[in-house]
Amino acid sequence: MALPAWPIASFQPVPDSFQPIQRMLDPISTDMEGGNTRQRPRPGDNVGTITQTIWMSLAEHDTFVNWVKTTLNNGTARFTTNVWLGSSYVNKVCQFIQPRHQAELCLSLRR
């Protein structure tokens, strides 16, 4: 089944909003009885996380909200989009993740 594509063709990220890619998930940490902490890689998808601000008109925002609610099943499904990686756009499979701040919109990228 084909993944849905980002619904807004003319979106532009704010140039200063790009933050470097977090290229791995945080490790799993376990406190051991001897006082040491053991860290190990988190199993799962090979993902990276980026944060960027995208300006949209009100009409584009309405389209985006409807797309997230209906096509992405309230933001839980994956989709494709062109992502700015600091020097160029690359088409990636993405998924929204839980934002750290209310105003953030984060994308999880499959590499």
Q: What is the pLDDT of residues 31-65, one digit of tens each?
A: 888 888 888 877 665 677 777 777 788 888 899 89
* One-letter amino acid of 38: R
Q: Which of 79, 71, 73 is nearest to 95 (CA)?
A: 79
Give me the half-sphere count of Cα atoms (radius 13 Å) on the Cβ side of residue 26: 3
DSSP code at position 53: -
* One-letter amino acid of 46: N
Helix (H) or strand (E) holding 88: none
Residue 6, in any domain of the structure: no
Say how many Å lie between the first and final Cα of the chain, rounded.
19
Residue 39, in any domain of the structure: no
Residue 29, in any domain of the structure: no
Residue 37, in any domain of the structure: no
Domain count of the chain?
Answer: 1
Residue 34, in any domain of the structure: no
pTM higher than the cut 0.85 = no
Residue 54, in any domain of the structure: yes
Q: Print the domain residue range for 63.
A: 12-24+44-110
